[in-house]
């Protein structure tokens, strides 16, 4: 489609305005309190560094500060042209060990903190506020985090990423004051860590037949020996894990390992089939909960994991277990009878409790996805809430800690801009502004319970992320937005201000060799989704025919959703698309209240084949004067084809007629799945 010269000119002006940045100190996450002046202190080759940190921490702080050209080391405390890093006993207005106070005047910079971690975060702020001319504004910054846990999860199972890449992400995480790296080390797509007692895990379970997860998943899903031709995979040796953990610790980041159980264990059961209920390779994804050899295997694995990772938490997954094989397994049935268990959900709870007891005996605590609530939560477990926030809130109300990572705000495998402009993603639409808008503590939560909210985490599952460049593209700058959610006081947050700082951060990341999303040229949400649409049906009564009820999980607001004047965006998860899963599909009648002239009737549908969302196979549009006898205006048959695209189409009628009642029908294709409709527009 051609655009006029005027339209092109206006587009360029819009981009230029969007990319302008305010000339002010740009710090992410925004500190608690900032008082700056126009005067500046200038770093030079004679600036001296000094700290009173001890216990070996001073060595890294010294090396880190020198590496980032903050000065030369001094064994004596300098009085001028200095950067002082000082541990103190108390600090006004600072309650957490990660807090700090930064003072700048003509003599230099002084960072005071209650711990070395606080000094380190003060250094990150200092680095961000230092100009290209090496000047630092005089003033005072008081800062501390809102949440203790500020995390990012990297999926290294679906596609493997090497040690240098992980260390590179640790550097960026530290710069933006994130302090937990969650490594998704095992899943069906590959086992990624050396376990000396079970060599087949890295000899075969770490290697597959296809490099791209999608190709492997859509074929036979086979594992092969690492020496075989075209074997794709990889794993971290125990020495490499120690290297990663040590590097993270020096950047005040805790690495949390995730070893999946009882499900997502196809790779284990392919090489050790005796640990499944059937003992047949490639048949099941769940460990057998009735087999004591399973617990022997898991405990032996965890012993080696705990030796490598000093993390207080060990993540055991716990999500999406089908538990189907348990229903027929004689060993599982015997276990249930022996333990007085009535359901497979309770059997899963038994499984999780047993693993937790083992971890607790070794002074570690269990962390798992919110499915670990099913059947009863283990006594000391912490819940990572991904299926919305309710699981985390439920755990907190039970007295447990929770980490919030709901897919709506925290799953960075979703598209971050218009899908047709982006590399293939898992689906959905999660732009920077949406991430930034997240507040983990709802107004309804009392202050005592809110204290159990340990923090937040951004997740990067890698089904559709095969390269290092792509992984960084999906992470940055969205993880920066979540870093500010996790660290900064809500009262200090402003998306307009953050967007300006994020534009600068993207440029900074690029100069450091990262591959962030080009925020400057963001397209934005689907046209029409940003403002209400006016039409004859808005606010009118909608009747759903028998067998055509919408799916409760995607109600988009209920019976009025299809005529509320709100268009859906790039994802059915934005709560503006109504989903239909029943056999009958969409069959609704809209009562306009009186007979009116009508010139068009239309509705939009989407297709994303991966999660099972398809176009309709047939659309029928009819009208009536009495609501009983309908005249068909249009019938359109659609050939639905599976593809990898994210597609939006409008199906409608145009003409001239009169009616009081409008009937819109859309039939599901042979592929089944969901139909998603955003608004039935009548004009």
Give dist(CA 27, CA 31) in Å, integer. Answer: 7
Give dist(CA 84, CA 112) in Å, integer. Answer: 8
Give dist(CA 78, CA 71) in Å, integer. Answer: 12
Spatial neighbors of 615 by CB under 8 A, at least 6 apart, are 605, 606, 607, 638, 640, 647, 649, 669
Give dist(CA 513, CA 437) in Å, integer. Answer: 28
Give dist(CA 4, CA 328) in Å, integer. Answer: 67
CB 214 within 8 A of CB 463: yes
φ and ψ at 249, to 5 degrees? -60, -40
Spatial neighbors of 239 by CB under 8 A, at least 6 apart, are none
Spatial neighbors of 315 by CB under 8 A, at least 6 apart, are 182, 256, 257, 258, 259, 367, 368, 384
Positions marked catalytic:
187, 264, 320
CB 627 within 8 A of CB 396: no
CB 228 within 8 A of CB 207: yes
Q: Sign of dihedral through CA atoms 420, 424, 427, 433? A: negative
Long-range contacts of 73-76 (CB under 8 A, 24+ apart): 73/48, 73/49, 74/48, 74/49, 74/50, 75/50, 76/50
CB 136 within 8 A of CB 104: yes
Query: What SS3 class is residue 3?
Result: coil
Q: In the structure encoding, which two tokens stand for residue 324, read together?
A: 């189907």
- CA proximity to 563, closest of 675, 680, 683: 680
Give dist(CA 432, CA 523) in Å, integer. Answer: 12
Q: What secondary structure, in 3-state letters, does 482-532 show?
A: HHHHHHCCHHHCCHHHHHHHHHHHHHHHHHCCCCCCCHHHCCCCCCCCCCC
Apex 232 CA angle, 229 and 237, nearest 5: 110
Q: In the structure encoding, which two tokens stand for residue 618, read together?
A: 């047939």
Give dist(CA 19, CA 534) in Å, integer. Answer: 32
Helix (H) or strand (E) holding 633: strand 631-637
CB 683 within 8 A of CB 535: yes
Q: Strand 82-87 vs strand 186-187: parallel, antiparallel, or unpaired?
A: unpaired
Spatial neighbors of 90 by CB under 8 A, at least 6 apart, are 114
How many CA atoms lie less than 13 Å away from 562 in the CB half-sphere?
A: 29
């Amino acid at each position: 489609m051609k655009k006029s010269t005027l339209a092109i000119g206006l587009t360029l002006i819009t981009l230029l305005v969007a990319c302008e940045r305010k000339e002010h100190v740009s710090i992410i996450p925004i500190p608690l309190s900032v008082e700056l002046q126009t005067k500046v202190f200038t770093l030079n080759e004679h600036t001296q560094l000094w700290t009173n940190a001890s216990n070996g921490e001073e060595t890294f702080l010294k090396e880190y500060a020198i590496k980032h050209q903050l000065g030369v080391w001094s064994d004596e405390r300098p009085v001028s042209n200095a950067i002082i890093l000082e541990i103190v006993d108390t600090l006004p207005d600072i309650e957490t060990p990660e807090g700090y106070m930064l003072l700048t005047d003509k003599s230099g910079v002084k960072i005071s903190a209650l711990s070395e971690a606080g000094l380190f975060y003060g250094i990150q702020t200092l680095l961000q506020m230092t100009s290209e001319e090496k000047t630092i504004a005089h003033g005072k910054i008081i800062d501390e985090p809102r949440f203790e846990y500020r995390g990012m999860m990297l999926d290294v199972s679906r596609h493997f990423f090497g040690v240098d890449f992980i260390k590179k992400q640790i550097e960026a995480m530290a710069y933006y004051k994130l302090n937990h790296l969650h490594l998704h080390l095992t899943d069906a797509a590959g086992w990624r860590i050396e376990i000396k007692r079970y060599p087949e895990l890295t000899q075969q379970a770490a290697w597959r037949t296809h490099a791209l997860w999608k190709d492997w998943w859509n074929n036979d899903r086979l594992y092969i020996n690492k020496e075989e031709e075209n074997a794709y995979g990889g794993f971290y040796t125990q020495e490499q894990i120690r290297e990663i953990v040590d590097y993270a610790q020096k950047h005040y980041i805790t690495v949390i390992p995730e070893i999946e159980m009882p499900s997502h264990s196809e790779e284990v059961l392919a090489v050790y089939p005796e640990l499944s209920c059937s003992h047949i390779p490639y048949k099941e994804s769940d460990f057998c909960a009735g087999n004591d050899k399973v617990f022997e295997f898991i405990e032996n694995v965890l012993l080696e994991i705990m030796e490598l990772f000093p993390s207080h938490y060990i993540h055991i997954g716990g999500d999406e277990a089908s538990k189907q094989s348990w229903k027929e397994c004689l060993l599982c049935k015997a276990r249930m009878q022996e333990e007085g268990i009535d359901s497979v959900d309770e059997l899963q709870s038994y499984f999780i409790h047993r693993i937790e007891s083992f971890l607790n005996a070794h002074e570690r605590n269990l962390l798992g996805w919110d499915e670990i609530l099913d059947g009863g939560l283990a006594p000391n477990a912490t819940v990572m809430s991904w299926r919305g926030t309710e699981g985390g809130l439920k755990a907190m109300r039970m007295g447990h800690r929770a980490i919030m990572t709901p897919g709506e705000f925290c799953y960075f495998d979703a598209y971050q801009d218009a899908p047709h402009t982006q590399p293939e993603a898992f689906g959905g639409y999660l732009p920077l502004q949406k991430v930034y808008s997240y507040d983990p503590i709802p107004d309804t939560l009392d202050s005592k319970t809110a204290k159990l909210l340990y923090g937040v985490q951004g997740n990067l599952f890698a089904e559709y992320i095969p390269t290092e460049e792509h992984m960084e593209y999906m992470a940055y700058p969205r993880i920066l937005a979540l870093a500010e959610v996790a660290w900064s006081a809500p009262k200090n947050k402003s998306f307009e201000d953050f967007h300006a700082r994020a534009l600068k951060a993207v440029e900074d990341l690029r100069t450091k060799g990262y591959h962030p999303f080009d925020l400057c040229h963001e397209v934005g949400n689907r046209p029409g989704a940003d403002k209400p649409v006016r039409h004859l049906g808005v606010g009118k009564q909608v009747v759903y025919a028998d067998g055509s009820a919408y799916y409760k999980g995607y109600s988009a607001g209920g019976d009025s959703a299809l005529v509320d004047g709100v268009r859906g965006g790039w994802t059915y998860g934005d709560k503006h698309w109504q989903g239909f899963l029943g056999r009958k599909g969409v069959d609704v009648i809209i009562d306009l209240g009186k007979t009116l002239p009508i010139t068009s009737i239309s509705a939009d549908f989407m297709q994303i084949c991966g999660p099972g969302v398809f176009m309709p196979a047939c659309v029928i549009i009819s009208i009536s004067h009495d609501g009983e006898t309908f005249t068909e205006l249009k019938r359109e048959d659609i050939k639905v084809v599976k593809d990898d695209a994210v597609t939006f189409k409008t199906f409608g009628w145009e003409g001239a007629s009169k009616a009081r009642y409008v009937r819109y029908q859309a039939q599901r294709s042979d592929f089944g799945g969901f139909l998603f409709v955003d608004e039935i527009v009548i004009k």
